[in-house]
Amino acid sequence: MTKSELSKYKHVLEAEQAELLHLVRNREGIAIEKSPDAFDEVQHATERELAIRNLDRESNLLRNVRGALRRIEDGSFGVCLHCEEDIGLKRLAAVPWAAFCIQCQEIADRSQGGGAGSLDEWLVNAA
């Protein structure tokens, strides 16, 4: 990968990171908000649940984005963490924080039964 391609990805990832940080901070506010009113409390419980689910997803994504930025720094960006093959440019264009090539990602998704489990967990199990 060329230097200018790398800096393009870095740009995209940094923007994504900033946006996610913003979202995660806002959600933390909703997730801990308490209401003294019982009716509000029910409403809040639903909102909280949703906020926590989104927060979960966004924190995961944020972790992936940070990992990708770290890989840009240490020069391993664009290489599959599992099989060490190059990740396709098309895949990187769609998912700049991809840590795995499409084949390894599919295996990971399958082994998770389509759930939103963490890839770290999968890596530990696959090791």
Q: Which residues pair with 86 in a beta bridge?
A: 79
Residue with tokens 């489990």: 117
> CB 106: neighbour CB atoms within 10 A?
11
Please say which residue, 31 or 81, places its beta carbon nearer to Zn ion. 81
Member of 13, 69, 72, 80 binding Zn ion (CB under 5 A): 80
Cα gap 100→85, rounded to integer Å: 9
CB of 80 to Zn ion, least distance (A): 3
DSSP-based three-state secondary structure for 107: helix
CB of 79 to Zn ion, least distance (A): 9
CB of 65 to Zn ion, least distance (A): 19
Please say which residue, 30 or 102, places its beta carbon nearer to Zn ion. 102
Cα gap 120→81, rounded to integer Å: 11
Member of 50, 83, 89, 116 binding Zn ion (CB under 5 A): 83
Asked if 101 is part of the footprint of Zn ion (rule: CB under 5 A), the reply reads yes
- Report the candidate in 126, 82, 123, 125 with the shortest Cα–Cα distance to residue 102: 82
Please say which residue, 59 or 118, places its beta carbon nearer to Zn ion. 118
Using the rule CB under 5 A, give the single segment among 27-35, 40-48, 62-70, 95-103 that binds Zn ion.
Answer: 95-103
Name the residues that contact Zn ion, by CB under 5 A. Answer: 80, 82-83, 101, 104
